[in-house]
Amino acid sequence: MDWFMSAKISCREESGKVAQASGRWSNYFSQAGSLCHSEAMTRTEKLLAELIALPSVNPAFAPPSPAVGPRCRAASDDQQVVPTNPRVGEKNVADFLATVAASAGLDVDFQKVLPGRSNVIARLLPAGKIRQTILLAPHLDTVGADDSQFVPRRKNGRLHGRGACDTKGSVAAMLTALCELANTKSRPQETEIVFAGLVDEENAQAGSRAFVGQASRLSPFFKKVRDRRDACPTALAIIGEPTRLQVVAAHKGSIWLQLETRGRAAHGATPQLGQNAVHEMARIVDALETDYAARLRRRRHPLLGTATVNVGMISGGTQPNIVPDRCAITIDRRTLPGETETSVRREIAALLRAKRLSAKISSTKLAPCLPLETNPKLPLVRQFLRSVGQTRPMGVDFFCDAAVLSEGGIPSVVFGPGDIAQAHTADEWISLDSLERGKNLLLSFLKSLP
Ligand SMILES: [Zn+2]
């Protein structure tokens, strides 16, 4: 059954209406030329090419906002506006994936997250009673890009285009594996498999935060857990991110803090009458980048290496002939498991006190970006490691949805084709070999489940 390119089936949209999918995405796909219809491509490659041709830029990064904004930025007002630019927002991709999943016989639903932005959920029920749940959870949004990056290009065994590795490659590998499983006779007897295409990972992770909030309605195995100390052994979330097909069980967290110094303004000709807030901040920057950074380098995690600090922004003063009365910096502190915002603020305050410096410290993020540390001895984590031929899990530097789901009580690992080195770059690509191997590894893991 060719569920893959079926463009005539219908599926339920978030509005509750039944929409004919026929031709709906043809404008986008025609822009991609003959690539999307090439016979030489595998199903996974075709799906990825189509996903690249359907832009889904996170609204936080769409014009007139900066083309590429910071990861993990706090939720902002512009996010609350329904995206009207068809290139912006995840709706096209979510609707298209719903069509693909429905034509493979999966149960499809949408979870409303923000106006015009919904997670797409596709579920394969087991033949018998549900005893455990596997969640496949890549994100649907991408960072910004110019027009050329929405035209998929295949060259030298690579597929180029925005989202190729971060993370439409994972979306294609995960959904293709699930659709192929649904179309074999060997569907699991007691394992439920849920695909969740999540919105907004690149900005404030509203999709995964909403998913965790309502997870108990989706599966009985997300119901019993309240937090990760009580993590459910009969559920595992595999978050799709480019990990070069390595199972990742730990990543760092990220805390952004603003430090503000206050001084006293005076005429630039008589600086002795004022108090220079920039000078005070210069000492603080030096203390953070030398003493504090050296202290963090001694703090090691076996999978993650050391915690770090980066003074990323500074502003102060208004003109050369005025003694500045205010200066502010923003720092990015990458945390290890066990470190919290409270503990970080406390140690920075103690450092400043010891050096007789003073600054007001405040957080610039609305949503916490916590570190991930999943117990590699959990039965489903061990089984997944064994299935992909890995003896122990890896750690990565970058933050993703895994921490949010894990904090919500769903044990989570990160896994996907492609390399994070190509993510967010002007020429994003994925190795087609990695993409296909990723789909095959996921499919054989899913087939190995009871
Ligand atoms: Zn990304």
Q: Give the Å distance between the CA of 153 and the centre of ligand 1.
A: 20
Tokens of 162: 């925005």
pLDDT at 409: 85
Average pLDDT over residues 184-205: 92
Q: Give the Å distance between the CA of 342 and the centre of ligand 1.
A: 27
- Beta-bridged to residue 122, according to DSSP, are 108, 195
Q: What is the DSSP letter of 222?
A: G
List pLDDT tens digits, range 425-444: 999 999 999 999 999 999 99
Number of helices and strands in the chain (H, E): 11, 20
Element (H, E) at 214: helix 206-218
- By C-alpha distance, which of 227, 233, 200 is closest to 212? 227
pLDDT at 140: 98
Side-chain half-sphere CA neighbours of 24 within 13 A: 20
Q: Give the Å distance between the CA of 351 and the centre of ligand 1.
A: 33
Do residues 151 and 32 lie in contact, with contact meaning Cβ atoms separated by under 8 Å?
Answer: yes
Q: Give the Å distance between the CA of 34 and the centre of ligand 1.
A: 28
Peptide bond into 64 cis (omega under 30): yes
Q: Give the Å distance between the CA of 27 and the centre of ligand 1.
A: 26
Average pLDDT over residues 274-295: 98
Would the pLDDT of 5 be above 60?
no
pLDDT at 222: 67
- By C-alpha distance, which of 112, 93, 113 is closest to 101? 93
Place of tokens 């003073």: 358
Q: Give the Å distance between the CA of 359 and the centre of ligand 1.
A: 33
Q: List CB contacts of 178: < 8 A, sequence separation 6 or more.
A: 101, 104, 106, 122, 124, 136, 193, 195, 446
pLDDT at 367: 79
- Which residue would you say has higher pLDDT here, 324 or 204? 324
Q: Give the Å distance between the CA of 398 and the centre of ligand 1.
A: 9
List pLDDT tens digits, range 325-353: 999 999 999 999 999 999 999 999 999 99
**pLDDT band (50, 70, 90) for residue 404:** very high
pLDDT at 225: 52
Q: Give the Å distance between the CA of 422 and the centre of ligand 1.
A: 10
Integer Cα distance of 307 and 329 in angstroms: 19
- Would the CA dihedral through 122, 125, 131, 132 be positive or negative? negative
Secondary structure (DSSP) of 137-196: EEB--B----GGGGS-EEETTEEESTTTTTTHHHHHHHHHHHHHHHTSS---SSEEEEEE
Three-class secondary structure of residue 384 per DSSP? helix
- Global pTM value: 0.84
